[in-house]
Amino acid sequence: MDYAGTGVFVASTIGLLLALSIGGHEVSWTSPILLALATLGVGGFALLRRVEQQAADPLISPQLMAEPVIWRASLTVLLFAAVLFGLIVQLPVFFQTALRTSATVSGLLLIPLTLAQVLVSTATGRRISATGRPRTAMAAGLSIVMAAFFVLAAGIELGPVFIVLLTFLIGAGLGSTMPAAQTMVQWAAGAERLGVGTAAVSFSRSIGGAIGAALASAVLLAALQVVDPNARTILVQELASTGSSHIEASQIAPALIVGYRWVFLALGVLSGCAALVAWSIPNLDLAAIPPGVRSPTTR
């Protein structure tokens, strides 16, 4: 058991997530406690590499993560998950507060996002099986997601139908990520490290989702603090006490429109970063033998 690596990783993750969760909400962004948490998170992850290099059986294998295909695909999945979970957490609240829909309708409006993701994920898997080239589909899909978020931020006041159409497009773009990333990592890891490589992708997805949910909330609260501190206070109090479906949206809707515009812009930037990382991955041929792998893996 890698106790040292596990301890450093857990402490770093908790520090980073707490900093994102309470910053601008319970404490100011410049408070000593928040700076200490941020330092713990960033410094801990910087230390983690050295700790894992000295571990006999590391939690996160430095040798595995040093391979370009694996760490770039894992980073792409982390950013993808941050975008997906940030959107899933914030979108229902946006529908209920800024657009004044009911809780039931806001849930139903998430169906196009999920449906598009499932359909494209299935189609992407079949295309990869046919062509053996997983990189392009993932990178192109994330590029589409970036563009869709920027259009969504610009047209946020055009109503639910416009937003649902764009979330369908975002879901379609995101649906190309997991099949491609999973396949590339398994190919690069080879048969001997197949389980470790697969776990690295799942691990990146989990961490990215937690970070994305916290980051999207932090961006929303920071934007509201600048635009209308009173709207921020109302939103926080109502969400904590009765739920977003009871918020008097007419009081704070204009400020929320501005706040969520910044949230969608932030998610667009994250999508762009994911697309850049994805395009930097070599255009693999899954029929070839990966570098450093002694025997070919089956597709």
Report in angstroms the alpha-carbon separations of 273 from 102, 168, 189, 218, 267: 34, 21, 24, 19, 10
Entry pTM = 0.83
Instruction: Give the pLDDT confidence score for residue 254 in this predicted structure.
Output: 77
Q: Where are the beta strands (DSSP E) in 105-236?
A: none
Q: What is the Cα–Cα distance from 92 to 263, expressed in whole angstroms?
A: 13
- From first to last of the 299 residues of the chain, give the pLDDT tens digit: 888 888 988 898 888 888 877 776 677 777 888 889 889 888 888 888 888 888 887 777 777 777 888 889 999 999 999 999 999 988 888 888 777 777 888 888 889 999 999 999 999 989 988 888 888 999 999 999 999 999 999 988 888 888 899 999 999 999 999 999 999 988 888 887 888 888 888 888 888 988 898 888 888 888 887 776 776 676 666 666 654 444 455 567 777 888 889 999 999 999 999 999 999 998 887 777 766 555 544 44
Query: Tell me, which fold does domain 64-280 have in CATH?
Result: Growth Hormone; Chain: A; (1.20.1250)
Instruction: Give the pLDDT confidence score for residue 130 in this predicted structure.
Output: 87
Instruction: Give the pLDDT confidence score for residue 158 in this predicted structure.
Output: 84
Q: What is the DSSP letter of 22?
A: H
- Looking up tokens 């295309």 gives 127
* Domain map (residue ranges) of the chain: 1-60, 64-280
